Structure formats: structure tokens, C-alpha cells
Amino acid sequence: MTDSFRLCLLGLPKTGKTTYLAALWSCLRSGLAEDRYRITELPGDTAYLDAISYAWAAGDPMPRSSPEVSDHIEFTIEAPARPPLQVVLPDLPGEVFLNAVRRPVIDEGPGAAVLSSDLLLLFVNCQTAKMFEPLGDHPVDAVETAEPPAPANEGNIDGPDSTTPKPDDAGDGPGGELDPPAPRFREFDIGALDSDTLNCELLGRLEDLFGDETFPPLLIVLSAWDMYVGEPDLIPDDWLRDHQPMLWQHIEELRRTMTVGVVGVSAQGADYKDHPDIVEVDVKARSWGSDSDGRKTDVAGPLLWYHDLPSRDG
């Protein structure tokens, strides 16, 4: 009997969700090792999956994910000694989750996809992730301020050319005084906040969404993990602690009551700009992952992490 396995990829824009899905689809269809997953039943329409996998194989930018064409992807995978899984997932654009931070709640459609999931994959891009910098760390001249206008006749403020208002020709301010110049404040853009803050806010929206319902296993997926291939002793959890400290503290609290993991993936295999020849590497060897202990896996590592949880043994 095939278990239904509902998977939801979460993450801010440009965190690698669609690239990961393209690499996963390409690798699963290419025939992985005997003890790994393989696709045994294709979806009725593979046009979207094929389009992103072709772009991935060529090293081209990923087509923009759109709920209209990619809100329901379903295929069956299996591996020896593991029951088959019917994978059902949406490929939702990152703007959906950025909007979830801008607004009090997640939109109804994406919210339903999240609530029905057996596993949530929250993507964090290792290459672009930023954390909060205290204001004291910024140079003073980087702060935009409004300078007061210089007097028209400085040094002779009481002379005939003085622009200083007199009691009988006072300005519009209270008490007959001119109002001070209005400071120039930049309009606040929540999307300009650091990713650590935004990821924490997104996770908070997810907690609000589930309320009293059981939160499914959550896996933090660090994309562009190939950046740290030269640091064999670095494990994904340590990277998250050092580079996204607020998010790491948040999941540390969640770990008291639910299952949370942190893994790494390199869906591209390497940075295209630094290693343009990576597109010539066989798809089975090009993309790869790192499990929670730093051991190398294939790109389906997140699925193996879920399937190997104690509750799914047998």
C-alpha cells in the first residue's frame, strides 16, 4: 500500500526551492543507487517539472514558479526496504512567504497546503543569508539625516537681511515660532530586513497558522551548501547557529515539543559563475546533500531524513 506523503517547500524568494525541486526530479528520473528513492509512478502532466529540470541541467535561471501551473505536483517514489510514498507538493513562489511576513496571516491557498503537509522544508540560502547588524556597527555617515537650513546672513542675525522671525511676523508654528524642518525618513520596506529576522517572522506565522494543531516535522534546508565543501567538520546545525542565530534559537525552542532537523543541499552542485563546467557533470553526481551529522547524501537526503524518523520505522 502506498502512503500519501504531503511535502511543502517554504522559504523567502531566491532561497533555492524551485532549483531543489528541479534537481530532485532530474535525479529521481535518472536512476539513483539501489538503496535510494526512485520514481515508480509519474504524474499525469510533467510539463512544469520537465521545464525546470531542463533549465537546471543547462545552468539557466529557473522559470518563475506560479501557483497556477505548479500548485499540485504528485508522483510516487520508493526504495528497497521502504514503503512507497506518494509525494504531493506545491511549488509556491517565495513572494507568498514574504507576503506572509508583511501581513498578519498566510493566504488561504498556501495556508491549506502547509496545514495538510507531513513535512515542511524551510529553505535558507547560505550564499545570501544575512543576520541583524546592531546600529552601532554602522558608520555615522551612513545614516541619512536632515540638516537644518543655514541662516541667510550668518553672523548678523539681527541685521536688516536677517531671516529670523520677529514676534509680529512669526511663522505658523506654535507660540509664534517656525516649525523645525521635517526629517527625511525612508519608507519602511519589510523585505529589506535581514533574512534571519524574516525567517523568524515566517516561522512565527506558521506557528500561528497551526495553532493548537500538531506541527509536522520541520526540516531547515540550507541551500548552496557547496560553499562549505572545504570545511568537512562543519555541520548544518552549527552553520545555522553562527549565521542565523535568531532562527536557530527559535528552532531550539521548538525542539522541546516537536521534531526539527537541519540539513544542507547543493542543488546546483557549485556556483555557476565560478564553475561553469558543472553543467557537464552527470545529474546523479552533480547535486548532493549533507545530513544533520555532516555526512554526504544524494539530493533526496531530506526525504530520507523524514522517512528514517523513529515514527516511520518498519
The beta strand positions in 160-259, using DSSP E, are 218-223
Task: Give the bridge partners for 262, in sequence order.
Answer: 220
Q: What is the pLDDT of residue 172?
A: 52
Q: What is the pLDDT along the chain (314 residues), one digit of tens a residue?
A: 556 678 888 888 889 988 998 998 888 877 656 666 777 777 777 888 888 899 998 988 877 655 444 456 777 777 766 667 777 666 667 777 777 777 766 777 778 888 888 889 999 999 888 887 654 454 444 444 444 445 544 444 444 444 445 555 545 555 556 677 666 655 656 667 789 988 998 898 889 889 888 899 999 999 999 999 888 789 999 999 999 999 999 999 999 999 999 999 999 998 888 898 998 998 878 999 999 999 988 888 887 787 777 665 44
Q: What is the pLDDT of residue 155?
A: 45
Q: Which fold has domain 3-131+191-312?
A: Rossmann fold (3.40.50)
- The beta-carbon contacts of 256-261 under 8 Å, at least 24 apart in sequence, are 257/215, 258/215, 258/217, 258/218, 259/217, 259/218, 259/309, 260/217, 260/218, 260/219, 260/220, 261/217, 261/218, 261/219, 261/220, 261/292, 261/305
Task: Single out the residue of 112, 119, 125 nearest to residue 13, CA to CA.
Answer: 125
Helix, strand, coil shares of the chain, percent, nearest 5, are 40, 15, 45
Q: What is the pLDDT of residue 218?
A: 95
Q: What's the predicted TM-score (pTM) here?
A: 0.77
Q: Where on the phi/psi map is residue 95: left (φ > 0), alpha (ψ -120 to 50), or beta? A: alpha
Q: What is the pLDDT of residue 185?
A: 57
Q: What is the pLDDT of residue 76?
A: 79
Domain residue limits, the chain: 3-131+191-312
Name every residue whose Cβ is closer than 8 Å to that of residue 96 and which is 6 or more positions away in sequence: 67, 106, 107, 110
Q: What is the pLDDT of residue 232?
A: 79
